[in-house]
């Protein structure tokens, strides 16, 4: 038994062109992607230790599972998959290109004999006259054919969907383009975060797992931050920021609103609404009424601040809650006498400004409002490869549709002179979805048969 020996380069080439390698890399990418989805990526060490324990966290670190999409082994898998795709395409593309550039205008005897879709008629009509009518029939029923004469035989050839042969290669190319876009985004892009206190601006953001800030090249100001809660709860329904972007003294965006899933982008950098929180000390707007004179004054103290009142009195806000049972926002106050005596604390309710008037005493208080400065937490992302990825996705959809929903269909007809008669042979095939094409062929065969008259 003779065994064909192959060289090392040939074996290496066959390895990179093999379907087994394709299946292996796809399975590995699927499994590792699931792991990357289950295990949070780019998180803080404390979060991993809290959830998995220190020993598991150290194992994750050794296996690069906390940042696996940048690990050498994951990038290596992607690279291997790309090489496999390129090699398979290089190996098979010349055959496909030959189909396109050198169509088989004349079918051989084997095609007419062995084709699953074939037909044959004998007519007394001259071949040249019949060829013209068959040309018109194919043109109307299928597509315009090409007429050639070889060895005394007239041959008609028609084809449709030739470019569907490129569908698989278009899909391969789209995958490579998507990976290229992802690499560009990884190398030249970043993900960062920043907190902006209401009324302040920033010009730099902080990357994840980085110690050096990144300069934006322009300023971003948070003009206002708002939170809307579900009725009767402190559960946020929506939180939003009004951002102003100023570039070289020119206002690009003025109080542009961003909410979750509705980010703001400028110069390739996108700001996503991510979180929020209190920043600094809040202030109250409190109306004080002198119960003897009826005079009113409005003050804006911070919590704990000692506020002077007429006739040597003082008051302070001791505590505040945004939801006091079912009464809404409430503040606890106390009044100090001119002698420094600390009087019994009492509560005022924002929804009931006249509530404290029933208490009596030298002064009554009404809580008008409370303003707690907030910071808005923004995730910042720059991905210069995102449009390349989008182009790759579009190409993938187009290529997949070409590959799976269209097929290359070919029809051959040969007219031969035989003892004063004309022999009509017909064959056809499609490189995909043979069952559907068989139905199409039966319809076409009927029209061809009707075109052939004066049958013998």
Give me the pLDDT at residue 181, please: 92
Give me the pLDDT at residue 209, please: 67
Give me the pLDDT at residue 381, please: 93
Of the candidates 83, 118, 137, which has an alpha carbon nearest to the alpha carbon of residue 424? 118
Give me the pLDDT at residue 241, please: 94
Give me the pLDDT at residue 2, please: 53
DSSP-derived 3-state class of residue 279:
coil
CA atoms within 13 A on the CB side of 162: 15
Tokens 């560009």, located at residue: 184
Give me the pLDDT at residue 153, please: 92
> Mind giving me the DSSP string for 401-435?
HHHHH---EEEEEEEEEETTEEEEEEEEEESS-HH
Give me the pLDDT at residue 120, please: 93
Give me the pLDDT at residue 67, please: 85
Sign of the torsion formed by the C-alpha atoms of 136, 141, 145 and 150? negative
Give me the pLDDT at residue 131, please: 92
Query: Cβ atoms within 10 A of the Cβ of 189, count?
Result: 16
Of the candidates 62, 158, 210, 47, which has an alpha carbon nearest to the alpha carbon of residue 429? 158
CB-based contacts of 47: which residues, under 8 Å, 6+ apart? Answer: 40
Of the candidates 189, 16, 179, 7, which has an alpha carbon nearest to the alpha carbon of residue 91? 16
Query: Cβ atoms within 10 A of the Cβ of 297, count?
Result: 13
The DSSP code for 65 is: T
Q: Which two tokens stand for residue 168?
A: 């698989």
Q: Which two tokens stand for residue 92?
A: 């098979």
Question: Residue 101: enclosing H or E segment and its boundaries?
Answer: helix 72-101
Phi, psi of 126 (to 5 degrees): -60, 145
Give me the pLDDT at residue 142, please: 93
pLDDT along the chain (456 residues), means of 10: 69 91 93 90 83 91 88 90 92 89 92 93 89 93 94 93 91 92 87 92 86 92 89 81 95 93 93 90 92 92 93 93 84 93 92 89 92 90 92 94 90 91 93 88 92 71
Q: Which two tokens stand for residue 297?
A: 């004054």
Strands (DSSP E) found in 85-213: 117-123, 146-150, 153-160, 190-197, 201-207
**Measured at the alpha carbon of residue 108, what is the angle toward residues 411 and 149, in degrees to the nearest 5?**
75
Give me the pLDDT at residue 171, please: 93
User: From edge to edge, which strands make up the β-sheet containing 283-290?
Assistant: 296-299, 283-290, 363-371
Question: The whole model's pTM is what?
Answer: 0.68
Give me the pLDDT at residue 113, please: 93
Question: Residue 437: enclosing H or E segment and its boundaries?
Answer: helix 434-451
CB-based contacts of 333: which residues, under 8 Å, 6+ apart? Answer: 315, 316, 317, 318, 345, 346, 347, 348, 365
Give whole-number Cα distances, 431 to 116, 401, 407, 437, 446, in Å: 12, 15, 6, 10, 22
């Amino acid at each position: 038994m003779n065994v064909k020996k192959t060289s090392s380069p040939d074996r290496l080439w066959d390895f990179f062109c093999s379907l087994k390698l394709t299946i292996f890399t796809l399975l590995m990418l699927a499994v590792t992607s699931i792991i990357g989805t289950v295990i949070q990526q780019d998180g803080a060490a404390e979060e991993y230790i809290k959830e998995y324990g220190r020993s598991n966290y150290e194992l994750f670190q050794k296996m690069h599972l906390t940042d696996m999409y940048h690990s050498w082994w994951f990038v290596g898998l992607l690279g291997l998959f790309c090489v496999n795709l390129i090699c398979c395409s290089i190996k098979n593309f010349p055959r496909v290109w030959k189909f396109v550039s050198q169509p088989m205008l004349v079918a051989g005897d084997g095609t007419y004999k062995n084709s699953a879709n074939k037909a044959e008629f004998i007519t007394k009509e001259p071949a040249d006259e019949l060829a013209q009518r068959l040309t018109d029939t194919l043109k109307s029923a299928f597509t315009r054919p090409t007429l050639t004469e070889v060895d005394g035989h007239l041959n008609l050839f028609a084809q449709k969907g030739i470019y569907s042969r490129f569908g698989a290669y278009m899909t391969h190319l789209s995958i490579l383009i998507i990976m290229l876009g992802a690499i560009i985004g990884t190398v030249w892009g970043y993900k960062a975060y920043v907190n902006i206190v209401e009324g302040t601006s920033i010009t730099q953001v902080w990357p994840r797992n980085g110690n050096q800030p990144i300069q934006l090249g322009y300023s971003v100001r948070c003009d206002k931050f708002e939170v809307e809660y579900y009725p009767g709860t402190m559960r946020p329904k929506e939180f939003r920021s009004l951002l102003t972007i100023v570039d070289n003294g020119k206002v690009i965006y003025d109080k542009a609103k961003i909410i979750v899933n509705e980010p703001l982008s400028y110069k390739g950098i996108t700001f996503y609404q991510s979180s929020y929180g209190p920043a600094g000390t809040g202030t109250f707007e409190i109306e004080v009424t002198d119960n003897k004179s009826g005079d009113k004054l409005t003050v804006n103290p911070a919590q704990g601040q000692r506020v002077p009142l007429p006739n040597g009195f003082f008051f302070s806000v001791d505590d505040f809650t945004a939801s006091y049972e079912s009464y809404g926002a409430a503040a606890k106050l106390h009044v100090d006498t001119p002698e420094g005596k600390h009087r019994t604390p009492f509560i005022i309710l924002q929804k009931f400004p006249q509530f404290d008037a029933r208490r009596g005493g030298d002064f009554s208080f009404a809580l008008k409002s409370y303003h707690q400065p907030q910071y808005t937490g923004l995730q910042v992302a720059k991905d210069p490869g995102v449009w390349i990825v989008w182009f790759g996705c579009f190409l993938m959809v187009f290529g997949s549709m070409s590959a799976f929903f269209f097929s290359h269909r070919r029809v051959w007809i040969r007219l031969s002179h035989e003892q004063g008669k004309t022999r009509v042979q017909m064959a056809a095939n499609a490189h995909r979805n043979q069952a559907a094409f068989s139905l199409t062929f039966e319809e076409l065969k009927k029209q061809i048969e009707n075109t052939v008259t004066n049958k013998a």
